[in-house]
Structure 1
């Protein structure tokens, strides 16, 4: 997947202490996009070489290695970008059940839909008028009204010579 590193490992059949690095070239199509070297793995016996590469684009890649004895090997790989919304389209029933229960509801099965429809049809509607209490203390316009009234009071007292 795009954003994940690709690891390459080479294990030598016959140990050769002179081989410390092997160049590796990465191609996207026919265009060269990167170079690294296969280096000995730290803490190993020197028989294993490793390299890693982080592709920047989606596409078909190949990695080409030329060994000191004149042989060459090639490995092909594909980098893709996965969109989980397109690939995982199945319903996650467990998640939906937890979501329903956390908000005080319940998850309905297909067999319960008929009963739910009857319950909704037979439900009594409460047609009594409802009153809604609204506090004006936390309203912006009330704050400015009080400020305006205090300002007018102060102005008139100063104008009429009152303290």
Structure 2
């Protein structure tokens, strides 16, 4: 009786192991059937040219050029372009929501009308009203009404790079 139990267990183990191997070898072909086998450059996966990509980008952006100008104290600059701006001492640069600023020269402090501040993306921190803005740090303005001004102890002007709309007051 004991021999029959042991023979049954060995037989069951052999059958299960064989079935597992058989299913495992067939499983690979099932997975391969679901992959994309398009050859690069074929009609299923075409190669595009730079001029085609530029044309599509121009269509999406409304066909605007990359140039932007500052007419007085208001700028409706285009996103993606950087404009070098000189901010006189005592003046305030208010950035529109989504604008980006990099202070290149001078000593700047953050300005915010509310308790929240602006994002110093380089340092990974939030700058609140009156906090020193480090030079060469990318600042992102998540909401309107926030900006930068010169440090009260600094008498020179600021040189900043701005991407997006802003107002100088």
Same fold (TM over 0.5): no
Structure number with higher relative contact order (C-alpha < 8 Å, ≥ 6 residues apart): 2
Q: Computing the radius of gyration over CA atoms, which structure comes out larger, 1 or 2? A: 1
TM-score normalised to structure 1 length: 0.23
